[in-house]
Chain A
């Protein structure tokens, strides 16, 4: 990854708080990850900070969870993921039919790694290669992800509406059920009336009058229930409205994502076009750093697409196992990765296009593998660039 380094010149140790809060990105984070492996003091400090941050949430003002949340949550979790289908769309992505179960697992693992790192990042779990692979995959599936994102949001909305509807239906049922209890009380009422007839000679209600009495209350209750239902349907209609609005918003968001994807594609196309009248602005000969016989040259070309660096080298030392050569553009003590290569015979070359900017040096190092973001190996060749 070609990361711009921050302007901070401080030692990595001073960024440990920012790292613990997950506020470093790109090169800074990689630098800190590497540093923490080597610095016992930082590792210890990181552990303490993580403990502190793990407890900070407890200080939040306590709020009562909504009624019935426990049942809803646990039902959904246990229903949504029986053991035999653990890898399925329980995360709310089952709608994205283009995904395979394997992708899901990948994502779970990736998420998990990130979150476990948040809980305990001192573990050396992220190898540069894995990270690169993940980044690569991310870039490739941008469009797919946009679709999935939308599907997942819609799914969440749908579930929200469903929960709402269930709740409303329950209230409605309760309202409608109240008259039933009146009916069941009827015999008791009648008994009471009979008792009254037996003991009092002054007023004897006719059976019709009794019936009219409870019928009237039943009618009133039903009317009330109907009113409640009417009100609830209004609420539901409003909810539908807001869902429709949300749908539109998501569609617009998807449109935006597509647009940026189109832009990225046209950039890619441009990059594939041949050089047209590229001006060679510098030719630098690369000198061996130690008593090596290696030789190399670097060319800086400028055209309308940007600045291109072409580096070629020969009589390079033999590589072992996973080793590779890596080219760096250096400004002060900040190297920018300009690509890695494995020579054929003892010669190799690499090209790198960048937006421009000034560098003092171009160098080639011998690295343990082809996936480093910062130099780890020895410098082999170097040459000064004119700023």
Chain B
């Protein structure tokens, strides 16, 4: 793990700084960002597509995009976190891949948002690791139905209507499960993590 300079207050600041360097074509910075995200990104993408080769291809596309578009990202003056941007791109591409293959996991499959017991790796930044632990805890406290609907939406890329049709659940119920699930996650995670993550 790359040791970061002391001048950066938070992980997010450091990542912003890396993005600026990447925008000015620093391959070193790209490598640092890669090292930082390789494992969490691969795990996340693999979790969606369930295919190692596809996951690697998507990661390659992502880093190509980061390399070529860092300038647009940084010059946009936005303060969205780098991690949100990267993971959102990863999810979009992974779900596109699933849709293209039409190989989304059969509905009614296992609930992947269940508590996961594998030890979190040291590659994850300390505060991310803390966050991941809290997130897993919060997920484990959702009720089965909310968890299931979020699973289909978040990892399967299903639309509300598809879920309603496949599972014979009224559309309104699908919506309210999504809403309640996310609201509850927010509540469980509370404001403490926000303070912890952001300064």
Contact = CB atoms under 8 A, between A and B. Distances in A.
B is a partner of A? yes
Contacts of B10: none
A160 interface: yes
B80 A108 contact: no
Contacts of B116: 59-61
Given A48-B186, A63-B46, A65-B39, A115 B85 contact: yes
Given A81-B68, A108-B68, A76 B60 contact: yes
A160 B139 CA distance: 36
A86 B64 CA distance: 10
Given A65-B42, A119-B80, A54 B87 contact: yes
Majority secondary structure, B binding face:
helix
A51 interface: yes
Contacts of A109: 72
B73 to A, nearest CB: 7
* Chain A CB within 10 Å, residue with most, of B87, B113, B194: B87
B149 to A, nearest CB: 11
B76 interface: yes
Contacts of B34: 70, 73-74
Contacts of B136: 59
A123 B78 contact: yes
A58 B52 contact: no
B84 A120 contact: yes
A293 B62 CA distance: 59
Contacts of A108: 68-69, 72
B61 A91 contact: yes
Interface in A1-47: 8, 14-15, 17-18, 20-21, 23
Interface in B41-84: 41-44, 46-47, 52-53, 56-57, 59-61, 63-65, 67-69, 72-73, 76, 78-81, 83-84
A73 to B, nearest CB: 5
A116 B42 contact: no
* Chain B CB within 10 Å, residue with most, of A8, A18, A48, A55: A55
B131 A69 contact: no
Contact of A90 (B42, B64, B179): B64
Contacts of A50: 80, 84
B7 interface: no
A160 B89 contact: no
Majority secondary structure, A binding face:
helix
B178 A56 contact: no
Contacts, number: 180
Interface string A60-98: 111111100110111011101101001000111000000
B92 A115 contact: yes
A86 B52 contact: no
Given A17-B182, A57-B90, A81 B135 contact: no
Given A21-B153, A60-B44, A69 B56 contact: yes
A118 interface: yes
B20 interface: no
B56 A18 contact: no
A59 B59 CA distance: 18
A279 interface: no
B128 A58 contact: yes
Contacts of B83: 54-55
B155 to A, nearest CB: 9
Given A57-B91, A58-B135, A78-B27, A17 B179 contact: yes
A112 interface: yes
A115 B92 CA distance: 8
17 contacts: A14-B179, A18-B179, A23-B153, A53-B84, A57-B87, A62-B118, A63-B46, A63-B47, A65-B42, A66-B56, A73-B34, A73-B59, A74-B34, A76-B60, A81-B64, A119-B80, A119-B88
Interface of B: 25, 27, 30-31, 34-35, 38-44, 46-47, 52-53, 56-57, 59-61, 63-65, 67-69, 72-73, 76, 78-81, 83-85, 87-92, 100, 112-113, 116, 118-121, 124, 128, 131-132, 135-136, 139, 153-154, 159-160, 175, 178-179, 182-183, 185-186, 189, 194, 197
Which 3 pairs across A and B sit closest by C-beta, in order of nearness? A54-B84, A120-B80, A118-B88
